[in-house]
A = this chain, B = another copy of it.
């Protein structure tokens, strides 16, 4: 799952009735009947469900760089070929691989009991027999930052930093700092380990994993996330006012350089000079669930939409589907792709990596030459309950390096209200995907591709990233 930039905070883009009344109605925009037909037919799509069901059942978890991710690539090639796409291929690269080990947490005093947690990606390890220390409590990241080193040295640091729900997922970027930078800061300040409250919004006993970063020169310490109920349990225990001693066993390890790769498939266009329309998501998942919403759904939605365009006849622009590798552990697939394809002309790039809940908004970053495309998108997407946001589009870890080359962007935003109940947890499995909203997603992406891939306008590079 992508990290959302703070710039994505766009509550103001949700028109209130009053605002809508103040805004003059836009001139009517005609969209081709074919766009409407393709969009509406996609509401009966079954291809996307088949991809999510197949990948999560026949492969399951697929942590970046592992043999499971390799099996997923082989599965991807078979499935994309069977669907009739052209130029199906794997573009491999090598990467350092982190693997989970044993993990347990136990309060030894004052109230002995086990807690549920999961190591963060790139966590250091405790000794095999575990590590015991007193816990230093910080309800918020800012409390941790303000504390003296003496309160941290030799301790297991706990950071709460409870994340609220938001429609656009922007809470993740703000409250995720406890995970993104907390462990390295704790290591620098002499903590022996760190446990954080999961960066998630649910109240079930599922820990949320996710990557953290120890910069060069900072020795990784054991770093893990407690399930939210367990974090709150620990806070309740701490509130009793007696010192809390905790034993941690976390034995993940870096296993060296391994092969990963991007899987690519295409719908060749009739006009190679018009640029490539890049769509996709990421093939790797975290290892706790089967990555059904993060991000089998994104692969499924974008691929099912592309197949519908292909079946309707050759589009003007080539549609390139990329199932990126190694997103979760640092966007390695997206970086490898941009490097390998820097010389190609991309018209637009769009990624689906925010689950499969209802798409409620689209946003673009298009050059002036392509302004009418956004108006047609607005007309084509409105019947699906999708409104136009006025912030700049361009979201997605995997496509970020390609966007940075000057590629225009079109984002279709799923609701983030429930997304962080699930993502990066053991509960990210097929049961969490709603077939009805999955079909709404396919319809939206189909409409988008029908408009963009066949747009007569030139889609020039954008410079205002």
* Per-residue B-contact encoding for A57-89, CB less than 8 Å = 1, 0 else: 111110000001001000000000000000000
- Whether A205 and B206, one on each chain, are in contact in the complex, defined by CB atoms closer than 8 angstroms, is yes
A427 and B233 within 8 A (CB): no
Q: A430 within 8 Å of B by Cβ?
A: yes
The answer to whether B205 and A236 touch across the interface, beta carbons within 8 angstroms, is no
**How far, in whole Å, are A352 and B223 apart by their CA atoms in the complex?**
41
- Contact across chains for B57 and A426 when beta carbons are under 8 A apart: no
The reply to whether A431 and B229 contact each other, CB–CB distance below 8 Å, is yes
Complex alpha-carbon distance, A221 and B15, angstroms: 62
Tell me the chain A residues, 214-248 only, with Cβ under 8 Å from chain B. 228-229, 232-233, 236-237, 240
Query: Is A429 an interface position by the 8 A CB rule?
Result: yes
Enumerate chain B residues within 8 angstroms of A58, measured Cβ to Cβ.
111, 237, 240
Looking at A56, A113, A205, A233, the one whose CB has the most chain B CB atoms below 10 A away is A205
Asked whether any CB of chain B lies closer than 8 Å to the CB of A204, the reply is yes
Chain B neighbourhood of A289, CB < 8 A = 205
Judge whether B57 and A430 touch: CB under 8 Å.
no
Do A236 and B111 have beta carbons less than 8 Å apart? no
Inter-chain contact B61/A113, CB cutoff 8 Å: yes
Cβ of A211 within 8 Å of any chain B Cβ, yes or no, is: no
Q: Is the CB of A233 within 8 A of B429?
A: yes
Residues of chain B contacted by A429 (CB below 8 angstroms): 205, 229, 233
A233–B236 CA distance with the chains assembled, in angstroms: 36
- Residues of B contacting A60 with CB < 8 Å? 111-114, 233
Supposing A229-B429, A229-B431 touch, asked if A57 and B116 sit within 8 A by C-beta, the answer is no
CA distance A231 to B186 in the complex (A): 40
Known: A68-B112, A113-B290, A204-B206. 17 other contacts (CB 8 A): A53-B236, A56-B233, A57-B237, A57-B240, A58-B237, A60-B112, A60-B113, A60-B114, A204-B427, A205-B206, A205-B289, A205-B426, A205-B427, A205-B429, A229-B427, A229-B429, A229-B431
Report the Cα distance A416→B48, complex, angstroms: 36
Closest Cβ of chain B to A227, distance in Å, is 9
Q: Complex formed: what's the CA distance from A53 to B430 in Å?
A: 34
A94: interface (CB < 8 Å): no
Chain B residues near A465 (CB, 8 Å)? Answer: none
* Chain B residue contacts of A112, Cβ below 8 A: 60, 68, 71
Point out the residues of chain B lying under 8 angstroms from A233, CB to CB.
56-57, 60, 290, 429-430
CA distance in complex: A416, B233 (Å):
26
Which single member of B59, B68, B111, B427 contacts A57 (CB below 8 Å)? Answer: B111
Produce 1/0 per residue, A171-205, CB < 8 A to B.
Answer: 00000000000000000000000000000000111
Q: Output the least CB separation between A120 and chain B (Å).
A: 19
